[in-house]
Structure 1
Amino acid sequence: MELTSILLGSQSNNEKERDQCLTLLENAQSENLSLFLKRLCEELNNEESPIEARQLAGLILKNNLYSHDENRRKELAEFWVSCKADYRQELKQQLFFALNSNSKQIRRTSAICVSVIASVEYPIGEWKSLFEDLIQLIEYFKNSKQVSEGVLVCLSFICEELGDENECSEISLILEPILNIIQQNEEEIEIRVASITTLLNSLGFVWEIFESKEDTQIIFNTIFSCIKNSENEQLIDLSFQCLVKIAYLYYPSLDPYMDDIFQV
């Protein structure tokens, strides 16, 4: 059976078919995990496969890279890092391609998988070009709104996965593309929401930006614009959350903007 059929069968209401397909998946995983993960990546990136099969492939992939159990998570991370660099790069490339999927669900699933890999590789210096790679993806697909949204969701997940305890000054590279996307997509609410969410999740890493009055002003102007020029409640709420987080992290930077804050 091909992987697509096995994945769909593993969710079947027919108990016999479901058990058979689950056994096939377990055997493939235990016999050759590297090959199994590669096949899952290919399935996730296959636009001709049903969404259900692709999402399940991404979920299984994620579960073989990350666990909430600390010991298991360490084992999975050690396995991934032990794989050859070319192999890891190939899988990451497949996941990047999936960020351009026609399906929002697949873009989100791929973004989660990328963020999990980033949480393993980036802290140990194995993916130093992470943020540059994501920016280049936006630039390569310059007119693709779905790539912009996919990358933004991915960046947001990455910020969550890395956490404030990780040194991540390179994340400041993403601020300009984020702010540009917000300004260039005034009518695209989903993209603006993804952008402001990413901005919110990245604020803990970009302290260097708030040492520049010019950069600080751009950030505040963007946030105020989202509040004043939108009727979308989610976008407005996220923008206010940005103000709250800036107040918590960079309180002195608020002083020149107090009148504006009171106005909104």
Structure 2
Amino acid sequence: MPLSYANFSHTCDSSKTNMAMVVTQILLSAQSVDSTVRNRAEEALKQIQEQNLPNFLLSISGELSSKEKPVESHKLAGLILKNTLDAKEQHRKYELAQRWLSLDVALKSQIKACLLQTLASPVSDARSTASQVIAKVAGIELPQKQWPELIGSLLSNIHQVPPHVKQATLETLGYICKEVVAEVVDQDGSMLAATRALYNALSFAKANFSSDMERDYIMRVICEATLSPYGKTRQAALECLVSIGSMYYDKLAPYIQDIFNITSKAVREDEEAVALQVIEF
């Protein structure tokens, strides 16, 4: 039977289990080498999104968080979620942000719970995608003083035993700090909390520091935190730099000049508690 919104709607009315199965089928078909199958699936996804966006987003987030789903459907589900939240064009980016903010609070809470749950997924691609989507949501909600419990939820992951959860959390914090304007994050102490979370997770970040892109994110976050107007945040950022220098010195060559500038400025101009961190470097 060809994939269509009508077929999807009928199945969704039957049961949530059937709905999840159909979503998986459509996502897999959208990646088919058969152009006819692929085009039908893409059209079905478009129709579902246009006709019932809330259920669509909930289904897609459930697809991403489910441990039983195929890796291929995880990847596409995550990409679709990102594209419903962000765009390159500023006017479209604004429209998508406003659309997200207008959704039912309970629905958004369910989606965000799925995303946070995915950080513990055994599938690395699912964890990485969830990190990026969480940051996109944070970029929309934190400036609006929404999702205040996010940083606390991520901090709790730092104390989880599985290393992959800690690594995914570290990656998420890096994406968040890149996505959200630093001044906005720092107003409610979130930048300080995020910086301390990074510090606590560094010993589990070997895989992250082996990746150029992830290492750049982490270093950018920490270097930006050293410019915070809040002394405690600057101090925490320098503590991070000291710890990184101890554990990952062989990875720091591209950042040595920036680190030198930061530490020199701290010694010359900053308050004693902050400047003392430089001595440890």
Question: 1:84-103 CA distances to partner (integer Å, 9 max, x unpaired)?
Answer: 22111110010001111112
* 2: CA distance, partners of 1:240 / 1:23: 50
Inter-CA distance 162–23: structure 2 relative to 1 (3 Å threshold): same
Unaligned stretches of 5+ residues in structure 1: none
Of 122, 125, 129, which residue of structure 2 is paired with 1:102? 122
Matched with 1:240 is 256
- Pairwise CA distance, 1:11: 1.5
Counterpart of 1:3, as a letter, is V
Conservation of the 8 A alpha-carbon contact between 2:115 and 2:130: yes
> What is the TM-score of this pair, normalised by structure 2?
0.77
Distance in 2 between the 1:249 and 1:74 partners? Answer: 38
Match for 1:222 among 243, 248, 252? 243
Instruction: Tell me which residue corresponds to 1:177.
Output: 197
Aligned pairs (5 A) from 1:105-120: 105-120=125-140
Matches within 5 A, 1:43-58: 43-58=63-78
Conservation of the 8 A alpha-carbon contact between 1:156 and 1:202: no
Pairwise CA RMSD:
3.1
- 1:154, distance to aligned residue in structure 2 (A): 0.8
* TM-score after normalising by structure 1: 0.82
2:207 to 180, 190, 193: 190
CA separation in 1, counterparts of 2:261 and 2:135? 22
Aligned residue in 2 for 1:23: 43
One-letter amino acid matched to 2:207: E
| Cα distance in 1, alignment partners of residues 130 and 278 from structure 2 | 40
Spell out, residue by residue over 1:106-149, the C-alpha distance to the aligned partner (whole angstroms, 9 max, x if none).
1110011000000000001012222112112333xx21111111
For the Cα contact (< 8 Å) 1:223–1:239, is it kept in 2? no
Partners of 1:58 and 1:196 in 2: CA distance: 22
1:141-180 mapped onto 2 (5 Å cutoff) = 142-168=160-186, 169-180=189-200
Distance of 1:12 and 1:224 partners within structure 2: 47
Deviation at residue 222 of structure 1 after TM alignment: 1.0
Listed as ranges, the gaps of 5+ residues in structure 2 are 4-21
**Distance in 1 of aligned mates of 2:172 and 2:162:** 15
Alpha-carbon separation, structure 1, partners of 2:142 and 2:92: 19
Q: What SS is found at the alignment partner of 2:243?
A: helix
CA distance in 1, matches of 2:235, 2:197: 16
1:131 counterpart = 2:181: no
Task: Provide the C-alpha distance between the structure 2 equivalents of 1:43 and 1:157, rounded to a whole number of angstroms.
Answer: 22
Taking the aligned partners of 2:237 and 2:89, their CA distance within structure 1 comes to 39
Matched-pair contact (CA < 8 Å) for 2:64–2:118: yes
Looking at structure 2, the residues matched to 214 and 91 of structure 1 have their Cα atoms a distance apart, in angstroms, of: 35
* Deviation larger for 121-130 or 198-207: 198-207
Aligned-partner residue type, residue 246 of structure 1: I
Aligned AA (2:118):
A
With over 3 angstroms needed to count, the CA separation of the structure-2 counterparts of 1:34 and 1:215, relative to structure 1, is closer
Tell me the percent identity.
Answer: 23
Cα distance change on mapping 1:223 and 1:79 into 2, 3 Å: same
Aligned partner of residue 152 in structure 2, secondary structure = helix
Structure 2 counterpart of 1:190, one-letter code = A
SS at match of 1:166: helix
Instruction: State the AA in 2 paired with 1:222.
Output: S
- Is 2:68 aligned against 1:14? no
Equivalenced residue count is 251
Q: Structure 1: which amino acid aligns with 2:239?
A: I
CA distance in 1, matches of 2:234, 2:218: 21
**Greater displacement, 168-177 / 203-212:** 203-212
Quote the offset at 1:57 in angstroms.
Answer: 0.5
The partner residue of 2:88 within 63, 68, 71 is: 68
